[in-house]
Structure 1
Amino acid sequence: MKKLIVLALSLTLLIASQAMARDLRFSSGLAQSEFRDLSKQAGAAISYKNTAPAEPLGILGFDAGVELEAMDINSGSSYWNKAFGNDAPSFLLLPKLRVRKGLPFSIDVGAMYSYVPDSNIKLWGVEVSKAILDGTMATPAWGIRATYSQLAGVNDLSLKTAGIDTSISKGILFLTPYVGAGAVWIQSKAEGHLQQLSNLSNETIYQPRFFAGLKISPLPLFAITAEAEYQVRPIYSLKAALNF
């Protein structure tokens, strides 16, 4: 069963990568208002997603897996069409590698890397979280988290995000639901061909985020986590990971 689940998810990631195989390269310039709207949605897309309950992994804990993010973008907008050479997809699909490691004092650290094959879209990020309440059989876990992410490979756009959030979770048998909220700060700068076409000012944006998810552990050392987030637009994530 475990092999079938991993195989199915791998095929999903492959299909998603092929569907998203296009460069982020601007066909024409943007107005400043278009650039700000694009920065809001693109920043939401690359921001570091949670996809984990609030409970800490523990000093010997480790979690590593693959993740697929799908963000419902406003594909009919002029700025997304210009960003994708007049061929914007309905969803931004980002396959990722994720890893988290438990440390002493209920602290976890993690990293993320994403590359869309046959495109110039890459991104990476890091996170650190601290459980204020570890959680017990009777009480929930509560934690806080700080994140950083950055777009890479796109010559026309420099995009960075920093975030902070808090979440609460409670395990029930092999299910662990969780909810959380926080904020993301986005720094966006037009470069290269886009800046030559548009002469745009930099954008610094703050936006709230809200998310809820469910971790399912059907087998020992293996878990699937599904999450929905709202940050300007709906964002959906699915992660399959080995953990202990």
Structure 2
Amino acid sequence: MSHAYSLALVFSLTALTATLTACPAAALDNDPALRGFGTYVPGLGVTKDQGGFEAFSRELGMAMAPVLMAPAETLGVNGFYVGLLEYSATNIDESSSYWKKGTERTLAASQAHALNPEGNPDAEAPDFLHTLRFRMRKGLPYSLEMGAQVTYLVDSELWAFGGEVKWALNEGVDALPVDFAIRGAASRTLGSTELDLTTVGVDLILGRGFGVGGQVNLAPYMAYNPVWIYARSGVLDSTPGIDPELMGSGADGEATFVLDSADQTLHRFVFGARVSTAALNLTPEIVLAKGLQSYNVNLGLEF
């Protein structure tokens, strides 16, 4: 057995142990584990999976970006909205290699399977990423509206903090058949030392509200929503927990790496409808992008 092969085997075994035991106790299943996108080869340094990182951040950005879940019309100058319950489910390519090594749970399972395929099943990523959201919006003069939202990725320590501004260009003009509005929104995802994720989006919204039976107001809407995703990695260690003396002089530095920035654009199309009665409203919504879908619903109060 060659020295390089022996070192590689030791590194793999130690990396698995470190993933299972040396990671912070607070690490949760869906926390990013971007160190999985680098493989250390003794004497050659780290081979980076940049394509995997870009695909991973694209799908995570789809889940963490601000949602619309509101028609083209604003709340009015005195209006205020509070979300009681906002939930989203975003599908991912769970069979892909980047999800099998991109989170704390799947990276540990993938490494265990690689070392002992018979004794350890391969990693299984979830079919969907689930997010919960708290949101507030306030109507302003001149058909403007502003709001803030906080998004939490379930089974993780990731929180996205975002803001939004909407302008209804022809609000109150009954001569036109539809309402048109434009919204800008941005969010920053916090909670990981391995990933820095920022999203910026614009919504071009068409919709129209009308009464049903004198008790309910129905406001269907659709929007084109380009979202720009900016993903950065921290300094990553492809051999966490391994003694530098084992790797030899200078090898510890060779095992650390930083992924290249992943800047991408998602072209999203949004379809939804707000159903409101008195102060209570319910809004189901679907967001479509190439190969991705988000299913959103909110229950909130407007007053």
What's the RMSD between the two structures over aligned residues?
1.9
Aligned length: 223
1:95 is matched by which residue type in structure 2?
Answer: L
Are 1:221 and 2:279 matched, yes or no? yes
- 1:184 has 2:227 as partner: yes
User: How far off its partner does 1:230 sit?
Assistant: 1.0
Q: Alpha-carbon deviations, 1:125-168, whole Å to 9, x = none?
A: 10001001114566321100111011110221100011112111
Residue deviations 1:59-90 (CA, integer Å, cap 9, x gap): 10111112101101111111112122315211
CA contact (8 A) 1:186 1:204 kept: yes
TM-aligned CA deviation for residue 35 of structure 1: 0.9
Q: Measure the CA separation in 2 of the matches of 1:175 and 1:184.
A: 27
Q: What is the aligned counterpart of 2:102 among 83, 86, 106?
A: 83
The amino acid that maps onto 2:285 is E
Would the aligned equivalents of 1:169 and 1:179 in 2 still touch at CA under 8 Å?
yes
Correspondent of 2:133 among 67, 82, 96: 96
**Cα distance between partner residues in 2 of 1:118 and 1:163:** 25
1:175 aligned to which of 197, 201, 218: 218
Structure 1, residues 153-199: CA drift from partner, whole Å, max 9, x if none? 02211000111121111112121100010211111101143686653
Instruction: Name the structure 2 match of 1:32.
Output: 50
User: Gaps (5+ residues) in structure 1?
Assistant: 1-20
Taking a change above 3 Å as real, the CA distance of residues 211 and 197 of structure 1, as seen in their structure-2 partners, is: farther
Instruction: Check if 1:205 corresponds to 2:264.
Output: yes
Distance (whole Å) between structure 2 residues aligned to residue 42 and residue 186 of structure 1:
10
Spell out, residue by residue over 1:5-33, the C-alpha distance to the aligned partner (whole angstroms, 9 max, x if none).
Answer: xxxxxxxxxxxxxxxx7341316225011
**TM-score for the superposition, normalised by structure 1:** 0.85
CA–CA distance in structure 2, aligned partners of residues 54 and 144 of structure 1: 8
Q: Which residue pairs with 2:15 in the alignment?
A: none
1:14-57, Cα deviation, whole Å (9 max, x unpaired): xxxxxxx7341316225011111112111111111100000011
State, as a whole percentage, how many aligned pairs show the same letter: 31
Partner of 1:129: 166
Q: Which has the larger radius of gyration?
A: 2
Structure that is richer in strand per residue:
1
Question: Which among 116, 119, 143 is matched to residue 106 of structure 1?
Answer: 143
User: Match of 2:267, as an amino acid?
Assistant: P
Of residues 48, 70, 84, the one that matches 2:66 is 48
Q: In the alignment, is the contact (CA less than 8 A) between 2:283 and 2:297 conserved in 1?
A: yes
Query: What residue in structure 1 maps to residue 82 of structure 2?
Result: 64
- Structure 1 SS opposite 2:169: strand
User: SS of the counterpart of 1:133?
Assistant: coil
C-alpha separation between the residues in 1 aligned to 2:60 and 2:237? Answer: 15
Tell me how far apart the structure 2 counterparts of residues 237 and 97 of structure 1 sit (CA, whole Å).
13
Aligned partners of 2:273, 2:191: CA distance in 1, in Å? 32
Residues 235 and 258 in structure 2, CA contact (< 8 A), matched pair in contact too: no
